[in-house]
């Protein structure tokens, strides 16, 4: 039968929040309740009759509560097939009660791991009985409805109330799907805890927060976002974020992490690359100089700041059409100004733990790698030319290197006085990338005399340093590692150009 009238329920939950209305509804409907431990006490304290599982199994909770429901009389009551005469006969033979509803809320394994608890505490939060009850009840959805999370209490209460104690096959199957989502996610979290060093070459990803986007990269493509966006951002204003918005926001956040604790820094990104970046004594000036880097590309871009956005900065931003503005906070008058554009997305970025790995599809599989957490520092530089960079050069070289790391390869970044002058992005030739950057910088009237250049990978020939020098660039930062490094070093020495090497390549494909 597709419609089943429930006469009994087993409840064994960790979280009791939201459970009371369900208990009262069961009492009203005359549904017999079986329970264990803390849940049993909770039900008794509500003044509702409850049958201890121990009365059914004739076996106490043992091993400090590790074994309570793991018994044939419990699982027989869940897994029996009501349309199978042999199953029904065995229920009667062994005095096993039929269980029509199972409500379980698992031990909080992920929260315990996130709390920094000891390994022993974490191990004790691996639910055994609960996960087994969920799998059994969900498997037998033809006869049993399984509620597997406190997040589903309200949904279940509506179902049982509207059906006056009866459930449909459609509802039972729907709750079964939810249950297997819970169980698979739980097992994934446990596996990833044990395999955090990736000693086992297996990839398991589970995200239970999913959102359907308007479309993907283009309108004819479906798009989804899986993750806890609301934990990372407080969205204060604007339209829904698109697939492309999210990619640009990701690029912006990762770039600004390089400047998190620095002086006021502002970046403008377009298609995952920075078209403007500047660091100044005030945020207002940082924005003005970031915009000067490429006011054309900034149209429709994503803006991000490492400091609170004030009124003066907001007034400047408001004159630009931009899709998204991100900051750690906003003054009240700045927020009022920025909200003046109906669709402008305004985000406050919160402190959250970021993923350690990057994942992308490749061919008929998946590529997984550690994030590029290495940032070039003054301490790690190798001074390879006779001419040494000045103090200002060194500051600009590190500034340019941080930006270069977050720009699509092949890339060249040109900077001066902690301002992005231009970059050449995603080129098949490093010479093309440099020429693109020089052309762009000059088109926006930047004087490149005394500017610095950063490259994401080594120079196989001295052509790039020669082109840079003839454009006025006086200092270069690059990984080094080419068998022909000496050719570039020799050119720099002959032309009084300073060059440092980092030993670290920063490809970004």
- Active-site positions read 139, 271
Phi, psi of 266 (to 5 degrees): -130, 140
Single out the residue of 146, 139, 132 nearest to residue 79, CA to CA.
Answer: 139
Cβ atoms of 406 and 373 closer than 8 Å: no
Cβ atoms of 366 and 473 closer than 8 Å: no
How far CA 90 is from CA of 72, 94, 102, 449, in Å, comes to 11, 6, 20, 91
Single out the residue of 476, 481, 397, 470 nearest to residue 435, CA to CA.
Answer: 470
Q: Rg of the Cα trace of the chain?
A: 31
| DSSP per-residue letters across 241-252 | PPHHHHHHHHHH
Distance CA 12, CA 65 (A): 12
Going by C-beta distance under 8 Å and a sequence separation of 6 or more, which residues neighbour residue 499? 384, 385, 465, 475, 476, 477, 478, 488, 489, 492
| First CA to last CA distance, the chain | 56
Single out the residue of 424, 473, 429 nearest to residue 294, CA to CA.
Answer: 424
Reply yes or no: is the peptide bond before residue 410 cis, omega within 30 of 0: yes
Phi-psi region of 113 (alpha: psi -120 to 50; beta: other; left: phi over 0): alpha
Cβ atoms of 346 and 330 closer than 8 Å: yes
Going by C-beta distance under 8 Å and a sequence separation of 6 or more, which residues neighbour residue 426? 273, 408, 409, 410, 411
E-strand spans in 392-461?
A: 412-415, 420-424, 452-455
Distance CA 278, CA 158 (A): 55
State both tokens at 315: 């007034």
Return the number of other C-beta atoms located less than 10 Å from residue 361's C-beta: 8
Angle of helix 169-194 versus helix 129-139 axis, rounded to 10? 140
Distance CA 103, CA 130 (A): 9
Return the number of other C-beta atoms located less than 10 Å from residue 95's C-beta: 10
State both tokens at 381: 């530089």
| DSSP per-residue letters across 351-396 | --PPPSEEEEEETTEEEEEE-------GGG-EE-SSSPPPHHHHHH
């Amino acid at each position: 039968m597709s419609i089943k009238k429930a006469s009994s329920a087993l409840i064994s939950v960790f979280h009791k929040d939201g459970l009371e209305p369900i208990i009262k509804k069961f009492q009203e409907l005359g549904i017999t309740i079986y329970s264990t431990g803390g849940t049993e006490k909770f039900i008794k304290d509500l003044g509702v009759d409850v049958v201890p599982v121990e009365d059914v199994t004739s076996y106490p909770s043992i091993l400090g509560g590790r074994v309570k429901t793991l018994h044939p009389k419990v699982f027989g009551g869940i897994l029996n097939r009501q349309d199978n005469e042999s199953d029904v006969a065995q229920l009667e033979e062994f005095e096993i009660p039929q269980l029509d509803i199972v409500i379980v809320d698992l031990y909080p394994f992920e929260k315990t791991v996130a709390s920094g608890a000891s390994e022993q505490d974490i191990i004790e939060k691996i639910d055994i009985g609960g996960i087994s009850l969920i799998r059994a009840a969900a498997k037998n959805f033809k006869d049993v409805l399984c509620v597997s999370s406190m997040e589903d209490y309200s949904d279940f209460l509506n179902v049982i109330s509207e059906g006056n104690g009866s459930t449909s096959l459609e509802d039972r199957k729907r709750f079964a799907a939810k249950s297997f989502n819970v169980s698979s996610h739980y097992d994934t979290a446990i596996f990833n805890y044990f395999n955090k060093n990736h000693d086992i070459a297996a990839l398991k990803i589970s995200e239970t927060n999913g959102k359907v986007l308007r479309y993907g990269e283009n309108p004819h493509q479906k798009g989804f976002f899986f993750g806890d966006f609301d934990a990372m951002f407080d969205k204060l204003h604007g339209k829904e974020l698109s697939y492309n918005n999210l990619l640009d926001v990701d690029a912006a956040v990762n770039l600004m992490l390089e400047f998190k604790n620095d002086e006021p820094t502002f970046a403008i990104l377009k298609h995952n690359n920075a078209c403007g970046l500047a660091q100044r004594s005030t945020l207002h000036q940082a924005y003005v100089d970031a915009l000067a880097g490429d006011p054309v590309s900034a149209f429709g871009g994503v803006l991000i700041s490492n400091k609170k956005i004030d009124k003066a900065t907001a007034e400047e931003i408001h004159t630009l059409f931009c899709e998204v503005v991100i900051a750690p906070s906003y003054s009240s008058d700045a927020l009022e100004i920025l909200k003046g554009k109906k669709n402008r997305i305004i985000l406050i970025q919160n402190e959250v733990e970021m993923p350690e790995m990057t994942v992308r599809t490749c061919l008929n599989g998946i590529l997984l790698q550690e994030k590029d957490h290495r940032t070039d520092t003054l301490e790690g530089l190798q001074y390879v030319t006779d001419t040494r960079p000045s103090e200002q050069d060194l500051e600009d070289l590190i500034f340019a290197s941080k930006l270069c790391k977050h720009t699509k390869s092949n890339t060249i970044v040109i900077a001066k006085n902690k301002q992005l002058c231009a970059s050449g992005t995603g080129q098949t030739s490093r010479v093309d990338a440099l020429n693109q950057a020089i052309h762009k910088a000059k088109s926006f009237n930047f004087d490149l005399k005394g500017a610095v250049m950063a490259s994401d990978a080594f120079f196989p020939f001295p052509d790039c340093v020669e082109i840079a020098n003839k454009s006025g660039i006086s200092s270069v930062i690059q990984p080094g590692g080419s068998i022909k490094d000496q050719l570039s070093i020799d050119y720099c020495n002959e032309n009084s150009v300073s060059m440092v090497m980092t030993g670290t390549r920063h490809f970004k494909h």
